[in-house]
Structure 1
Amino acid sequence: MAPRALLLLLAVGYASPLDLYCPCFMEADYTCPAPPTDCELISDACGCCDVCARQEGESCGYWLTGCASGLTCGPSVCLRPDVYSLRTDRCACGLTCVPFVRTAKRHENGVQQVPIVDLVPYCDHVTEVEGCQYDGVTIPVGTECKVDDCTWCYCPVAGQNPGCVTQDCPAPPCPNPVSVPGQCCPVCHPPTLENLSINQ
């Protein structure tokens, strides 16, 4: 019985980093705490509230906040390009620009459903750049970008499959949600005269 409980505990502990709960998106009455006053402020991983930027040597990337001015988030250890694992980088000076790496275990189609919230540039549809191909989009090596409204990909090595994650949307609390261009999850709009049906 004890080994099963240990396995369950390990599985839960391993899966929990995939969950990013953003109260500002999930709770209508959420209010951010007062921002700190003794540090450089940046947005939290959800893009909701102001928090302290990470300092040199502190963990960064994945669901953590970014680095303070003059520091870059980069790998603390080298990983083989074929290792698609959740990893934590470190803030440091003098690194070349390394984007946050948010790759996950690969599935058959190369995409895993996990919640993710971030602002990253869309990939341009270019073919002259060395990189990874995803659905007709070339992702330059070392770059993380948004390939559609719900999918982010990272290219570790040219010619390989990119590591991708797809935002998982909660069920909208309305009967007729509306898709908004540039936004992954459908939203509820207040009723208007055009979409109200009045029973007589």
Structure 2
Amino acid sequence: MTSTLTHTWRILKWGRTLARHGALIDIERNPRTPPRLRRVVRLARFGARVPKTPRYAEAFAALGPAAIKLGQTLATRPDLVGEAVAQDLLSLQDALPPLPWDVVRPAIESGLGQPIEALFASIEESPVGAASIAQVHRAITTDGRRVAVKVLRPGVEAQFFDAIDTYEWAAARLETMGGELKRLRPRLVIETMKRWT
């Protein structure tokens, strides 16, 4: 079980990243934001160079795969985050930069338990698509079949489950603050993202 200290550290670290991208401005300025949450946001923002125009998608991308999935989920909920934020987050649906081949090759061989040459007559080093959790490479098997090889980003499962654990912890605390936060049902948002992913 993750400690409260670990959850708090992650939230502050992520908050700092969000602040540097201006993604906490609306939360801090909203008169309906509970005072406790506003204090956490101010702490995360303290001393950060905050841009005038928030860059939500960049902020979520900087936080990693679980945050990208959360951002993609929030992009479908302008009723929760507002039209402008949802529009900005839509860019998270686009392809992400791929991992280099020298990282991907060992991941494929480890996952399949054999050298690439034993399985594929050829495999394209450049992926046809890259996303937050995986990327896909075209290949031809040793028996001549054309296939797509989907490769999970190394370490993504552990990163994802750690982040989800903290999201669930934070959502439960947000709901106890009542008011607008309770109505927005953050635990349900996280649960929906978890199922969808």
TM-score when normalising by structure 2: 0.28
Which structure: greater helix fraction? 2
Higher relative contact order (CA 8 A, sep 6+): 2
TM-score normalized by structure 1?
0.28
